[in-house]
Amino acid sequence: MPLERKTYDGNLPGSSAISTRRGDSLSNEGEAGEYASTERTKRDFRDLDNDTMSFEENSEKDRYLITYADLITLLLGLFIILYSISKIDMKKYEDLIYAMGDIFGSEKGANYDSLAISSNKVSTLAGINPVDQIRRDVTDLIQEFHYDHSIRLEENERGLTIRILEDILFPSGSAKLNESSKEVLTKLANIIKKLPNDIRVEGHTDDVPISTNDFPSNWHLSVNRALNTAYFLVKDVDISADKVSIVGYSEYKPIAANNTTEGRALNRRVDIVIIK
C-alpha cells in the first residue's frame, strides 16, 4: 500500500485559525485606532474652533479697554498741561508775545493790545483775578500822579467803581472836558480796556438846581457829562463801543450829604463802573 505524502504548506497545525483570528484582531484594532484618531482629530478641531470663537467674543467684549486707555492718556496729558501753566513767569511770557508779534510783522500798537489780552487770559488761568490787577494798577496811577483827592476806588456787588470828581474833569456847571482831564482819562482807559468786562459811565450832580440854555436841569447836566466822558473813551482811547453804556443820575445818587461844600463837591462826579 503506497504511502501518501502530505504536502507541507508552511502552516503549523492549527495555525491557520489562529492567524486568521489574529489578523482579524489586528485589523479590527487598526480600524478602531484609526477611528479613535479620527474622532480625536475632529474633537480637536471642534475645540480649536470653540477656543477661537471664545477668543473673538472676549475680544469684542474687551474692546472698550482701548477707548478707556485713550481717555486716561488724554486726561493725564490735560493735567500735565494745566500744571505746567499754573506757574508762569509773566515777564518772560510778555517778552515772548511781543517778540512773536515783531516776527510776524505786527505793529507795535497791535502788539500791545494782543499782549494785554493774552496777559489777561494767562492771569486768569494762573489764578490771578484780572479785576484785582486793575485795582492795583489804578491805585499805582493815583499815587504816582497824586490824584488822591480827585480819584477814588470802590468795589461792591456791581463791580469796581472808579470815581472821578468834577474838579478834575469839568468846569463848574459845564459838561466839556478839561484838557488836563483827557490825560487822566487816557491813563485810566489804557488800564481798564485790558478787561473784556462791560463799562458803564455814570454822571452825578449835587442838589443845587441848574437852569441854562444848555442844561435845563441837573438831569441834562449829568447825562451830558457821562456822554462826553464815554465818547472820549471810545473815540480817543479806542475802548470798544459795544462795551460802553451811559446813565445820568442827576442828584439822586449822592455819596455825601449836600448840606456842606465838601459833600456837594463829592457828589459832583463821574463814575466809571467795571461791571462784574
Q: What are phi and psi of 70, to 5 degrees?
A: -60, -40
pLDDT band at 118 (very low <50, low <70, confident <90, very high): very low
Judgement on whether residues 176 and 261 belong to the same structural domain of the protein: yes
Share of the chain above pLDDT 90, in %: 32
Grid cell 493735567 is found at 79
Q: Model confidence over 244-261: pLDDT tens digits? A: 999 999 999 999 999 999
Q: What is the pLDDT of residue 251?
A: 95
- Residue 65 placed within a domain: yes
pLDDT band at 100 (very low <50, low <70, confident <90, very high): low
Q: What is the pLDDT of residue 119?
A: 47
- Residue 101 placed within a domain: no
Q: Model confidence over 69-83: pLDDT tens digits? A: 889 999 998 888 887
Burial tier of 274 (Cβ tally within 10 Å: 0-12, 13-18, 19+): buried
Judgement on whether residues 61 and 136 belong to the same structural domain of the protein: no
How many domains is the chain partitioned into structurally? 2
Share of the chain above pLDDT 70, in %: 62
Model confidence at 171: pLDDT above 60: yes
Mean pLDDT, the chain, whole residue set: 76
Judgement on whether residues 56 and 146 belong to the same structural domain of the protein: no
The Cα–Cα gap between 232 and 126 comes to 33
Judgement on whether residues 138 and 237 belong to the same structural domain of the protein: yes
Judgement on whether residues 76 and 133 belong to the same structural domain of the protein: no
Judgement on whether residues 157 and 227 belong to the same structural domain of the protein: yes
- Residue 12 placed within a domain: no
Decide which of 64, 83, 102 is a domain's last residue. Answer: 83
Judgement on whether residues 73 and 136 belong to the same structural domain of the protein: no
- Residue 2 placed within a domain: no
Supply 131's cell numbers: 479785576
Between 59 and 239, whose confidence is greater? 239
133: domain CATH number?
3.30.1330.60
Judgement on whether residues 148 and 232 belong to the same structural domain of the protein: yes
Q: Which of 85-89, 137-141, 257-261 shows the lowest per-residue confidence on average (mean pLDDT)? A: 85-89
Q: Span 202-230, mean pLDDT?
A: 94
**In which domain, by residue range, is 42 found?**
18-83
The Cα–Cα gap between 190 and 246 comes to 19
The three-class DSSP label of residue 59 is helix
- Residue 102 placed within a domain: no
Q: Model confidence over 174-203: pLDDT tens digits? A: 999 988 888 889 999 888 887 888 999 999
- Residue 98 placed within a domain: no
